[in-house]
Structure 1
Amino acid sequence: MLFPLLFALIPIIQVGMPLYLIYRLWKSNFELKVNWTVSFVHFLLLLATLFFVFRWDVIGYGLRYWLNTFFLIAALSSFLQVKDLPTYNSKKMKLSWGKISEILLFVVILLWSLLGTGTKQKKLDLTYPLKGETNYVIHGGSTIALNYHGIADQQKYALDIVKLNDWGFRAEGLFPKQLHKYSIFGKTVYSPLSGTIVDAKDSLPDQIPPKTVSEQPTGNHIWIKKDSLYIVLAHLKQGSIKVEKGDKIEANQPIAEVGNTGNTTEPHLHIHGVKIPKNENPKPDSLLYKGKATPLTFNGKFLIRNTTF
Structure 2
Amino acid sequence: MDEMIAMVSLLQIVLPLVLLVWVVLPSDSFGGFLLKTSGVGALLLALALVAQWAVIPWWLPRFYGLLWVGAIAYHFMRRRLRYDKVLPSGRWRWTEAAVGAVLLAVGLWFATAAIMGRTPPPSRTIDIANPFGPGSYLVGSGGGREIVNAHMRTLDTSVPRYRSWRGQSYALDFFGVNALGTRARGLSPKDPAAYAIFGAALHAPCAGMVVAAESSRPDFQVPQQDTVNRLGNHVILDCGDAQIVFAHMQQGSIVVDPGERVALGQRLGSVGNSGASTEPHLHIHVQRAPASDAPPISGEPLPLRIDGEFLVRGDRLKGRDWKKEIP
Q: Which amino acid aligns with 2:114?
A: S
Q: Is the 8 A contact 2:232 2:274 kept in 1?
A: yes
Match of 2:123?
121
Q: Which amino acid aligns with 1:71?
A: W
Residues 63 and 91 of structure 1: CA distance in aligned 2, closer, same or farther (over 3 Å): closer
Paired residue for 2:307, among 286, 299, 304? 299
Q: Is the 8 A contact 1:33 1:82 kept in 2?
A: no
Once the two structures are overlaid, the 10-residue window that deviates more, 83-92 or 47-56, is 83-92
The aligned runs of 1:1-309 (5 Å cut-off) are 3-27=1-25, 29-80=26-77, 81-89=79-87, 91=89, 94-95=94-95, 99-119=100-120, 120-153=122-155, 154=166, 155-276=168-289, 281-283=291-293, 286-289=295-298, 291-309=299-317
Structure 2 alignment gaps of length 5 or more? 156-165, 318-327
Q: Distance in 1 between matches of 2:285 and 2:85?
A: 53
Q: Which amino acid aligns with 1:51?
A: A
Q: Is the 8 A contact 2:202 2:268 kept in 1?
A: yes
1:144 alignment partner, SS class: coil
Residues 89 and 226 of structure 1: CA distance in aligned 2, closer, same or farther (over 3 Å): closer
CA drift at 1:105:
2.2
Q: Distance in 2 between matches of 1:169 and 1:26?
A: 29
CA drift at 1:49:
0.9
1:169 alignment partner, SS class: coil
CA drift at 1:62:
2.2
Q: Distance in 2 between matches of 1:90 and 1:159?
A: 47
Q: Is the 8 A contact 1:25 1:78 kept in 2?
A: no
Q: Distance in 1 between matches of 2:134 and 2:252?
A: 23
User: Which whole-Å deviations, capped at 9, do the CAs of 1:174-224 have from their partners, x for residues lacking one?
Assistant: 110011110111111111111111111111111111011111111111111
**TM-score normalised by L of structure 1:** 0.92
CA drift at 1:156:
2.5
Moved over 6 A (4+): none
User: Which whole-Å deviations, capped at 9, do the CAs of 1:222-261 have from their partners, x for residues lacking one?
Assistant: 1111224111000011111101110001121111110000
User: Which whole-Å deviations, capped at 9, do the CAs of 1:60-114 have from their partners, x for residues lacking one?
Assistant: 1222211211111012112443434324247556156555344322222111111
Q: Distance in 2 between matches of 1:151 and 1:94?
A: 40
User: Which whole-Å deviations, capped at 9, do the CAs of 1:121-159 have from their partners, x for residues lacking one?
Assistant: 331110111123511111110111111111112322100
**TM-score normalised by L of structure 2:** 0.87
1:259 alignment partner, SS class: coil
Q: Distance in 1 between matches of 2:195 and 2:272?
A: 10
Q: Is the 8 A contact 1:171 1:181 kept in 2?
A: yes
The percentage of counterpart residues that share the same residue type is 27
Q: CA RMSD in A?
A: 1.8
Q: Is the 8 A contact 1:45 1:107 kept in 2?
A: yes
Q: How many residues align?
A: 301
Q: Is the 8 A contact 2:126 2:286 kept in 1?
A: no
